[in-house]
Amino acid sequence: MIPFLLRRLVQSIPTLLLASILIFFVIQLAPGDFLTPAKLNPNISPEQLAALQRNFGLDRHPIEQYFLWMRNMLFHFDLGLSFSYQQPVLDVIKPRVANSMYLVLLYTVLFYLIAIPLGVFGAVRQNSLGDKAVNVFLYFLLGFPSFFLALIVIYFILQLRTKTGLDIPINGMTSNDFDSMTAVQKFFDVTKHLIIPAVILAVSDAAGLTRVIRGQMLEVMRSDYIRTARAKGVTERTAIWKHTFRNAILPIVANVGSLLPSAVAGAGFIEVVFAYPGITPMILDALNAQDLYLIAGFTVITTVLLVIGNALGDILLAVVDPRIKVG
Amino acid sequence: MKKALTLALALTVGTAAAQSAFVWPSAWTADQNTGNKRGGELRLSAISDFKTMNPFTSSEADSIPDRMESGTGLFTQDPRNDEFIPYMAAGAPVVSNNNKRFVVKIRQGMKFSDGQAITADDWVTTWKIHTDDKVGSNSYDTFFLVGKPITVKKLDNYTLQFDFPQPSASALSIMSYAPWPDHVFGKAYREGGADAVKKMWGLATPASQIIGAGTWIVDSYRAGERTVFKKNPNWGDWNKDSRGQELPYLNTMSVRIVADANASLAAFLAGQIDTVGMRNADDLAQTKKAIDNGSLKAFLKANVSPQATSQWITFNWNKAGDPAKQKLFRDVRFRRAMSHIANRQAMVQLALGGLGSETYFSTYPIFKQQIDAGLAAGAPQYKYDLAQASKLLAQIGYTKKNAQGYLVDKSGKVLEFNLSTNAGNTVREQLGRIFADEAKKVGVKVNFTPIDFNTLVSQLTSKGENRPFDAILLGLSGGSNIWSFGSNVVPCGTNLHSYNNPTDGKCATSQEQLMTKLYYQGDSELNDAKRRAIGGQLMKAEGELQPVIYLVGGNFHVAFNERLGGEFPANLMNAYYGQRLNALTFIK
Amino acid sequence: MTTTAPTTTQKKDKPLGQSQFSVAWQQFRKNRLAQAGGLMLILLYVMAIFAPFIAPDALSSYSTSNITRFHPPTPIQFRDPDTGAFTRPYVFKYTQQLNMDTFVNEFKPSAERCPLYFGVRGASYKLLGFIPGNLHLFGTNKEDCSVYLFGGEDLGRDLFTRTLYASQISLTIGLGAVVITTLIGLMMGAVSAYFGGIVDTLVMRLVEVIAAIPSLFLLLLLRSVFPKDINPILALYVILGLLAFIGWGGLARVTRGQLLSVREQDFVSAAKSLGASDNRIMWRHMLPTLTTYVIVTTSLAIPATILTESGLSFLGIGAVEPYASWGSLLKAAQDGGLSSLNTRPWVLIPGFFIVFTVMCFQLLGDGLRDAFDPRKRA
């Protein structure tokens, strides 16, 4: 195990290096920089612009900037300073990533809760009317760009609010009086805000995993050992859940490692549409503002997590499938 | 015995302070809080998250320090007549040295939210830090006039002396910056210099450490969600309503972060926030609908005033690489023809949904007094008239059309140019589209492309003999009603003198020289009427030269939840002053 | 996962010696849903190709005097309102006025009737880029009184026309990007598997890097490198190229994995022992085992790409005026906010084209996957 991890560590160095170089220089290649909008501000003089440029280090050559950044990262574990926040990148990102994680976590749970039963159902009742109906319905939902679906949902929540008078949250993560709540109330308040975006995401994405589980189930169901089990008189229920399902989800379990970076990368557009204080709206802002170190620092973190996630996936696969050895 | 004495002393000081309180005129609100309703929360929204609490590093359009600065300043503008009245100053300044020296007495008894007295040191320190280029404050430039510094000196604890390098119409406005506590920032600055100041008051700073002089101080901040401000407990000592009640009436003000303008409208309709900017007829229609079906109780007033913004097209006079185009763009007849092509009425109808104003000058239509002065001076307006445009283009030599219907010159070259705007701005994209399509009708080929904002800005502000664009459609906002001409726009050689910006920054025409001269003349003229008359002359020169084609502007509409009281009387509401003063706002 | 490799054993099971494709075809014909999806897609593509002919108007035509901003859909009338008898189909001309009380721009049908004709002459166009024409399937022949099947959009242009033109872009971008993705993915995977060593390491590291950066952010970053003032059509090619660049990693990894595992299989060892060269083994034995995988992933990747493009349009970097994609039309609707939903719902129609197309592709891809996979047959 230890040598495996060590080797993985060594292997990940070029990936990290490549990712940091790619991101850093792509941002530099783009026209303009963080200070470009300031040029359109009637109140900022050229002298002040020059001073700001010096302060931000934007007057140095990009390669010099890169090496300075790298040095700070390696020796001081410092990802740099965000231009717009004037704070260390890690401090800026941390609360946002945490918020995104809540959403992604809930979404993932819901996602599996929806996809697994539907996938198993599809396999057991292959090509039945129910199977087809689920299929068409899920693909119908999959076709909605998530921002579009969210807009429609927000509209219906508004309608529902006016009709029923219920306080269904439209956006954000907490209610106005959040700070005066008890811990339990806080938990329920956040959950209340999370549930709608999480359900939208889970339902609209469920098609893919449902089909994978259905396929895996079909594959295993037709294998010899299930046939044998059935012949031996195992009940249908046991044959499906104990023998088939367990084997069918092996590859999915192995894939859990890839959830790690996606938990940090956030839930995408849905965060923007629901004004959820996750990482996506912030990074989109940063991209617009060309907040160099914020973007680059964030990328480094997701890359590291991907590397860890992949290694984790390999280890997990070895744990669940005795035929595979780590190494 | 000794104890009782100090208490008594404190009491007398307290009454002395109360006597010198600033009384908010009752005419500033249409809805007097006669019942003295106190407490409650004003719920607002913002589209992008706040980035810092530090007043010296903040560069956002809407920021936490900005909101903490409301209810400060030596002078404040009276929305009834635009005049500056003493606010944190105890009285009018003593002016000497040819209108260049101002000695200001500070109102006594004012305290920061932590209880420390507000004194001359706070203004001096704030000025010092803003003008340290190592700090990089956004307000740096406001303390300079034509490159020369304004200095602030403490005469005694409650007297300040301002020295201006030259007379300025905006002097009172410039002096009205918000003081920040010397015992916080001054201390850090003296001990650790600019770097120490820059490190202070990040978003992670506990709210209890944030101190201010204004109406509001930070109560809590949740990243990407909400910032809650609570009232400064010491502000009411020197701010009273006309019946002597302490202000503000409200306890808290919260600012919720929303995804976009649509989301803030949704939150408003759902009753989650108290007011929202109405962008267009759609927003008004949605609000009206919600009011009519009874789900929302709100005040709604459309077309209160024009917005304080402009949308325009500028033509590049510095095209050494393409002399034909440079000659064309420098021809005043061509630019007047372009103004005749701009179908402003269709732009209002199509791009602004029917609610907007046509504009012909750099002065926003909301500054009505200045516009009137301009029109009185004979500033021309080249209105939509395709026939007139064709006539002017024929005078330049474009009489023939080719097979595609485009005008050609003698050598058969098509009359065409590129026009760009920033991608993603729907209104501007539509304005450009309409302009291009109207131009086609008279045979001018306009290649219209929305491009990246940053690229666009660097093109617009580029200097040189061969600048990289033909024409740009963009907008400006900001500016004051004291002297409504841009210091960066009108004088030759400045950043946003977008049509002509050669390396040496010299004017190309006599009108530009005249405009530059009039700009500085007006900027240092202290008499309002005389200044407006100078502005009128400037508008006339500008209108005749037509260097920039002004298009249209949206209108300002007011909507707020009926639980709010204390809004402006109808005649004071406009895009410049807004709909209300937070200090006089109360929850019904 | 070894999902597709055993297709070869299927061959041995069928004594008739049917090819893999004819078996799949037989299976596919049993799947009605997949067939329906495929058929609808063919229709959509035909519609896209003949868009200029089917559309009654030009891509970007509107009037600045006769305002048709958010014109409601015009129902086609078949009966004479006075006599009740059937007549030539016609639409009413509408008048508009901004109601200053409700702030809604109200359109009302006037008494004027505009008959519809088939095969009218109108705006000229070039079919497929080179066949000129000005014949339109239907129209009114009148300047100020057009037929608005899907209503008007924010400048008053016919939404039906724009949706049709947009289908050209949306359907091409999806298909084009996936074709390029597949080519790059296959090539990189094959190169990686074949050469191994440092090449393999480099390619796989690059795949990891691309996978590590959230694709949305990477797309935005890469797009920002290209100047935005390039010709709008060129800009679309840039987007297409970027989508391809983002997407090839997964396929390359699978290709590499499949090739490496196939190398260990009996029939390749047999070929090797019979003296086949490496090249021959690669092209004749290894790549064909990937066909099923490629067909299936491609048909599933196209809808994903269509969705991504709409997401980019949402962020304002998709199709540029005057051109439109379904995504950019939907973005315009999104910009209208709540009004798009409750006062002019027809602006959402392009969104349903996205939903419908994606669904068809999914059903088709699903059918193909089942058809090619022997273990999933009923």
Model confidence pLDDT, tens digit, residues B432-482: 999 999 999 999 999 888 777 767 877 888 888 888 889 999 988 777 888
Q: How far apart are CA C173 and CA C186, in angstroms?
A: 20
pLDDT of B367 higher than 50: yes
Query: What share of chain C has pLDDT > 70, as a percent?
Result: 86
> B interface mutation test: which of C67, C103, C234, C341 has the most B CBs within 10 A?
C103
pLDDT digits over B370-424, tens only?
999 999 999 999 999 999 999 999 999 999 898 888 999 888 889 999 998 887 6
pLDDT tens string C329-355? 988 888 888 888 888 889 989 988 999
Give the mean pLDDT of B5-14: 38
pLDDT at B112: 95
Instruction: Give the torsion through C-alpha atoms of A184, A189, A194, A200, to 10 deg.
Output: 120
* Nearest-by-Cβ selection for A143 from C222, C342, C354: C354
Q: What backbone torsions phi and psi does residue B565 show, to the nearest 5 degrees?
A: -125, 170
Q: Is A285 in Cβ contact with B48 (below 8 Å)?
A: yes
- C154/B346 CB distance under 8 A: no
Number of other residues whose CB lies within 10 A of the CB of residue B559:
25
Answer yes or no: do A145 and C354 touch at CB < 8 A.
yes
CB C209 within 8 A of CB C222: no
Q: Do B479 and A86 touch (CB under 8 A)?
A: no
Check residue B229 and give its pLDDT: 95
Q: Is B116 left (phi over 0), alpha (psi -120 to 50) or beta?
A: beta
Nearest to C107 by CA among C157, C151, C162: C151
The ipTM of this complex is 0.77
Q: Is the pLDDT of residue C4 over 50?
A: no
Say if residues B66 and B58 touch (Cβ distance below 8 Å).
yes
Q: How far is CA B88 from CA B35, B211, B233, B324, B388, in A?
A: 28, 17, 17, 58, 55
pLDDT of residue A221: 78
C-alpha C235/C-alpha C225 separation (Å) is 12
The mean per-residue pLDDT over the stretch B46-74 comes to: 87
Residue with tokens 């990891």: C208
Measuring CA to CA, which residue among B152, B83, B207 is closest to residue B482?
B83
- Cα B284 to Cα B287: distance, rounded to the nearest angstrom: 5
Q: List chains touching C (3+ CB pairs under 8 A).
A: A, B
CA distance A135 to chain C (A): 8
Answer whether B288's CB lies under 8 Å from A179's CB: no
Cβ contact B353:B516 at 8 Å:
no
Residues of A in contact with B478 (CB under 8 A): 42-43
Q: CA of C362 to nearest chain A CA: how many angstroms apart?
A: 7
| Token pair listed for A301 | 């973190």
Give the pLDDT of residue C7: 40
Ranges of residues in chain A with a pLDDT under 50 are 327
Digit-coded pLDDT (tens) for B251-274: 999 998 887 788 888 889 888 899
B65 prior amide bond cis, ω within 30: no
Q: How far is CA B525 from the centre of its chain?
A: 21
Give strand pairing partners of B300.
B559
Host H or E run for residue B434? helix B426-442
In this model, does residue B310 exceed pLDDT 90? no
Q: What DSSP letter does each residue of A184-243 carry, written as one string?
A: HHHHHHHHHHHHHHHHHHHHHHHHHHHHHHHHHHHHHHTSHHHHHHHHTT--HHIIIIII
What pLDDT shows up at residue A322?
60
Whether B330 has its CB under 8 Å from any CB of chain A: the answer is no
- CB interface of B with C, residues 295-354, below 8 Å: 302, 343, 346, 349-350, 353-354
- Kindly report the pTM of this predicted structure: 0.82
Q: Does B265 touch chain C (CB under 8 A)?
A: yes
pLDDT value of residue B254: 93
Interaxial angle between packed helices C215-225 and A2-29, expressed in degrees from 0 to 180 and rounded to the nearest 10: 30
| B59, B224, B293 ranked by CB distance to A277: nearest | B224
CA–CA min distance C264, chain A (Å): 17
CA C109/CA C260 separation, integer angstroms = 69
User: Of the segments A165-179, B103-117, C263-277, which one has the largest average pLDDT value?
Assistant: B103-117
B392 — phi, psi (to 5°)? -65, -40
Q: How many angstroms separate the CA atoms of C137 and C123, rounded? A: 12
How many alpha carbons lie under 13 Å from residue A312 in its C-beta half-sphere? 14
pLDDT at B564: 93
Interface probe, candidates C31, C359, C372, C375, chain A, greatest A C-beta count within 10 A:
C359
Residues 6+ apart with CB under 8 A from C304: none
Contacts of C330 (CB under 8 A, 6+ apart): A145, A148, C310, C313, C314, C348, C350, C351, C354
pLDDT greater than 90 at residue B210:
yes
Amino acid identity of residue A105, one-letter, is: L
Provide the percentage of residues in chain B whose pLDDT is more than 90: 57
What is the pLDDT of chain B when averaged over all its residues?
88
Chain A hits for B293, Cβ within 8 Å? 162
- Cα–Cα nearest to C261, from C187, C193, C201: C193
- Residue with the bigger pLDDT between B459 and B2: it is B459
For chain C, the average pLDDT equals 81
Chain C residue with minimum CA distance to A306: C212
C-alpha B164/C-alpha B98 separation (Å) is: 10
Nearest alpha carbon to residue B452 among B498, B421, B418, B419: B421
At C198, the pLDDT band (50, 70, 90 cuts) reads: confident
Distance in angstroms (rounded) separating the CA atoms of residues C369 and A176: 50
The reply to whether residue C227 touches residue B451, judged by beta carbons under 8 angstroms, is yes
Instruction: Tell me the per-residue pLDDT of C25-51, one tens digit each, with 9 for 90 and over.
Output: 887 888 888 899 999 999 999 999 999
Asked if the model's pLDDT at residue B178 lies above 90, the reply is yes
Instruction: Give chains near A: 3+ CB pairs under 8 A.
Output: B, C
Q: What is the pLDDT of residue B272?
A: 87
Q: Is there a contact between A117 and A209 (Cβ–Cβ < 8 Å)? A: no
pLDDT for residue B304 is more than 50: yes
Which residues of C are less than 8 Å from A307 in CB distance? 208, 212
Q: CA geometry: angle at B224 spanning B266 and A148, to 5°?
A: 45
Measure the CA dihedral A82/A88/A92/A94, to 10°. Answer: 140
Q: Exposed (0-12), middle (13-18) or buried (19+): which is B91, by Cβ within 10 Å?
A: exposed
Quick: pLDDT tens for B505-559: 889 999 999 999 999 999 988 888 999 999 999 999 999 999 999 999 999 999 9
